[in-house]
Amino acid sequence: MQQNEEDYLKTLKDRLTGYVSREDLDDILSDYAEHFSIGISEGRSEDELCQALGSPDGVAREIRASYLVKRAEQSCGARNIWSAVMATLGLGLFNLAVVLIPFVILIALLTLIFVAGMLLIILGPILLLVSILHLLGVAVAMPWPIPPAGIVKSLVLSVVGVFLIVAALGLGKFFYRVGIRYLKWNIRIIRGGEGPNRDEEPCLSTAAIPRDGAENLELQVQLRAGDMSVRDGTSDKNLVELATHGTACARPSVSASADGKGKRIRIRGRHTIDRCWWSDESSPAMEIRITRDVPTALEVTNKAGRTTLSLGKLNLTGLRIRNGAGETYIDLAGYAGPGFGAEIRNGVGHMVIRVPKEYQLRIHVHRGIGDTDVHGLLVEGDTYVTRPERSDAPQITLFVKQGVGSLSLKAV
Amino acid sequence: MNIQFKKGVLEICVLSVLARKDCYGYELVHEISKMIDISEGTIYPLLRRLKDEGLVTTYLQESGEGPSRKYYRLTETGRTKEREQREEWMQFAASVNTLLEGVLHAAE
């Protein structure tokens, strides 16, 4: 039987409707539609593509199964606090003391404060009314010995009531948040699970610095500890984009100043690892993307952590890299700009540098302990060079200081 | 070959293709089905799962002709996982081979 795309997608849709969310369904169908459109553009027939994909029933069954697993995982990833308590309880007797008792005591305390507040809020005005009536000469039982002072006292009671309610709500919110985090941590410890929690990324923050007609860029990036990656590729209107996530919960500080047609940007990650003891994220990470079009002088400092710099597609005019401890990858392959000078210092850790061989390269290496592995470069004293075919090829000069750890230089 | 066999190794295959380069869905499916005979449709659900698990991310990129394509890229977690799984696989495959060869020798 001949099959076609339309029938295939329709069957898939029928078999999935009701099992997966509207959004996911659209997403899944668009994946397969893309598959068909590319396949057809490469000259395969719809029937052939359907055959290769396998029966839509089978595919739908697979998707439904993985969807169920995902839902089950999410529900034990603490959607709400109660199901989290139950889930945690189910995980071990240990938690009876660790989670349930503090949880119940906390709820009782908060309820007590709330109830006291409510009582005062109700009682205050009643006492106030009674005091006023008494003053006016109405014969009622007087709660306070002196009526005018009674009015003041009643008012104070009402205000205290309002304060208590506000405090109870605030505390409730705070403990709710701490509680959720604590429960998640608990579940992870008991399950022996690993990895960050998937249903949220609590410390993700992003920022973009618009281009605003800048004709050159001086970018300084500093990270105290964590993984840093710098590469090309921003949306057209942005000069620099950054995203950070991880333990720190601290947003990086970004300062930008313009000087004529040039722009100076400083990005400092204020990550410290001890900041959030309850955090469930892995090590902090910062990802920076830079536009390909604007000439850029880049300065990167990372005290500790892995530094990955894919700079080959940037229009670099200068480069300074300082890495304290950690692996450093610097990829300049594919660079097509006017040439530049660079200073690269690494303390402890392996370092890999890839450079474009069409350029006249001069790489001065000063190094401590570790192997040096060189590909595609000639040795001239303590300098590695290339002799490109074009004698007028632009120059790149690197000053490399590597402390402890292997160094790999490759001209590609 | 047993279908469960293939399903089991599909994840590590997808991860290691992506470790070499970012791919759009069709390209990835093509790379893998070239080597392993499997229903191409089962790779998409796998990709969704890998995405949910935070091992890959996706982004859209314009193609020369036609609409933009959804590319898949390994995250750092994905890279670590790929290395781990590859190592495990190598060891496992080596042990199985040793065993199988041992059996062959015994039969001779």
Is residue A228 situated within a structural domain? Answer: yes
Nearest to A54 among B40, B47, B76 (CB): B40
Same structural domain, A268 and A185:
no
Same structural domain, A217 and A305:
yes
Same structural domain, A162 and A56:
no
pLDDT at A19: 76
For A373, the domain range is 205-411
Token pair of A182, please? 């604590």
Same structural domain, A150 and A240:
no
Q: Between these two residues, A178 and A241, which has the higher pLDDT value?
A: A241
Same structural domain, A130 and A104:
yes
Instruction: List domains and CATH numbers for chain B.
Output: 3-107 (1.10.10.10)
Q: Between these two residues, A260 and A38, which has the higher pLDDT value?
A: A38
Is residue A378 situated within a structural domain? Answer: yes
Residue A219 pLDDT more than 60?
A: yes
Number of H helices, E strands in chain A: 8, 19
List, for residues A385-408, the tens digit of each pLDDT value.
888 877 788 889 999 988 777 888
User: Which residue among A133, A159, A191 closes a domain?
Assistant: A191
DSSP A232-299: E---TTEEEEEEEESTT--PPEEEEEEETTEEEEEEEE---TTS-TT----S-EEEEEE-SSS-EEEE
Is residue A199 situated within a structural domain? Answer: no
Give the pLDDT band of residue A192 (cuts 50, 70, 90).
Answer: very low
CB-count exposure of residue A58 (10 Å: 0-12, 13-18, 19+): middle
> Measured between alpha carbons, how far is A330 from A312 in angstroms, rounded to an integer?
9
- A21-31 burial, b at 16+ Cβ within 10 Å, e below that, comes to eeeebeebeeb
CB-CB neighbors (< 8 A) of A63 in chain B: 45, 48
User: Whole-structure pTM over 0.95, yes or no?
Assistant: no
SS3 label, residue A19: coil
List, for residues A83-103, the tens digit of each pLDDT value.
555 555 554 555 556 667 777
User: Which residue among A49, A76, A103 closes a domain?
Assistant: A76
Length of chain A: 412
pLDDT at A175: 81
Same structural domain, A292 and A369:
yes
> Measured between alpha carbons, how far is A358 from A333 in angstroms, rounded to an integer?
10
If we measure between CA atoms, which residue out of A104, A110, A105, A117 comes closest to residue A171? Answer: A110
The DSSP 8-state label assigned to residue A96 in this structure reads I
Residue A137 pLDDT more than 50?
A: yes
Q: Which residue has the tokens 């859209």?
A: B60
Is residue A198 situated within a structural domain? Answer: no
Same structural domain, A183 and A227:
no
Is residue A197 situated within a structural domain? Answer: no
Same structural domain, A228 and A213:
yes
Average pLDDT (A127-142) is 77
> Measured between alpha carbons, how far is A305 from B10 in angstroms, rounded to an integer?
32
User: Which residue among A41, A58, A76 closes a domain?
Assistant: A76
Mean pLDDT (chain A, rounded): 78
List, for residues B62-101, the tens digit of each pLDDT value.
877 677 889 999 999 999 999 999 998 899 889 888 888 8
* B98 touches A: beta carbon within 8 Å: no
Give the pLDDT band of residue B107 (cuts 50, 70, 90).
Answer: low
List, for residues A282-299, the tens digit of each pLDDT value.
456 788 899 988 899 999
pLDDT at A350: 83
Letter for the amino acid at B70? Answer: K
Nearest to B42 among A31, A59, A70 (CB): A59
Phi and psi at A325, nearest 5°, equal: -130, 135
Same structural domain, A163 and A64:
no
Same structural domain, A262 and A226:
yes
Give the pLDDT band of residue A280 (cuts 50, 70, 90).
Answer: very low
| Overall domain count for chain A | 3
Cα B56 to its chain centre, rounded Å, is 12
Same structural domain, A154 and A187:
yes
CB-count exposure of residue A225 (10 Å: 0-12, 13-18, 19+): buried
Beta bridge partners, B44, equal none
Is residue A291 situated within a structural domain? Answer: yes
Same structural domain, A69 and A86:
no
User: Is A41 close to B66, i.e. CB distance below 8 A?
Assistant: yes
> Measured between alpha carbons, how far is A111 from A105 in angstroms, rounded to an integer?
10
Give the contacts of A399 (CB within 8 A, at least 6 positions apart).
Answer: A341, A342, A343, A344, A364, A366
Token pair of B96, please? 């199985």
Give the contacts of B18 (CB within 8 A, at least 6 positions apart).
Answer: B28, B56, B72, B73, B74, B78, B82
Nearest chain A CA: its distance from B76 CA (Å):
10
Residue A189 pLDDT more than 70?
A: no
Minimal-distance CA residue of chain B relative to A35: B26
> Measured between alpha carbons, how far is B79 from A158 in angstroms, rounded to an integer?
61
User: Is B53 close to A56, i.e. CB distance below 8 A?
Assistant: no
Check: CB of residue A323 under 8 Å from CB of residue A307.
Answer: yes
Nearest chain A CA: its distance from B42 CA (Å):
6
Check: CB of residue A268 under 8 Å from CB of residue A336.
Answer: no
Average pLDDT (A323-337) is 85
Is residue A200 situated within a structural domain? Answer: no
User: Is A34 close to B33, i.e. CB distance below 8 A?
Assistant: no
